[in-house]
Amino acid sequence: MRILVALDLSEPTELIVKKVEELAKEMSAQVWVLHNAEPAPDVLEFRADPQAARDSLAEKFHSEHRQIQEIAKRLRKEGLEATALLVHGPTVEVILKEASDLDVDMIVVGSHGRSAVFQLLMGSVSEGILRESRCPVLIVPTRKNA
């Protein structure tokens, strides 16, 4: 079994990683931990202080890379085969491309449970993946119950 877990490194990341760890152990799965670092470097506008903007962006990307490396390392300590991937591009398309390139059996994503108005205006990554994926998709609900 091959699993791609797409993480945005927001607060619910830990919940999603725990679910993937549980699932991967049960299925002796290989795991790819993917984070789509945004914005993509080629669409940035550097106006006020280009060097400061580049330095800030580089630090952000390094931090995100360290975070997903730590998640993969933790999964390896639990006996799983795990690889971290940091990619750039349109989120849904990037996740689907990586899933196809890696020939995964399942994609795991979180759902933030945002309002219908937000989803109407902005769309939903999990919905886009679910709609376009050629393999099963596990959507982990991450909304806190009120």
Segments of the chain scoring below 50 in pLDDT: 40, 42-43, 115-122, 146
> pLDDT tens for residues 97-106?
999 999 999 9
Domains of the chain and any CATH numbers: 2-141 (3.40.50.620)
Q: What is the pLDDT, as a whole number, of residue 62?
A: 87
Asked if residue 92 lies in contact with residue 132, where contact means CB atoms within 8 angstroms, the answer is: yes
**Alpha carbon distances (Å) from 26 to 34, 126, 135:** 21, 24, 19
> pLDDT tens for residues 28-58?
999 999 999 875 454 455 555 677 777 777 7
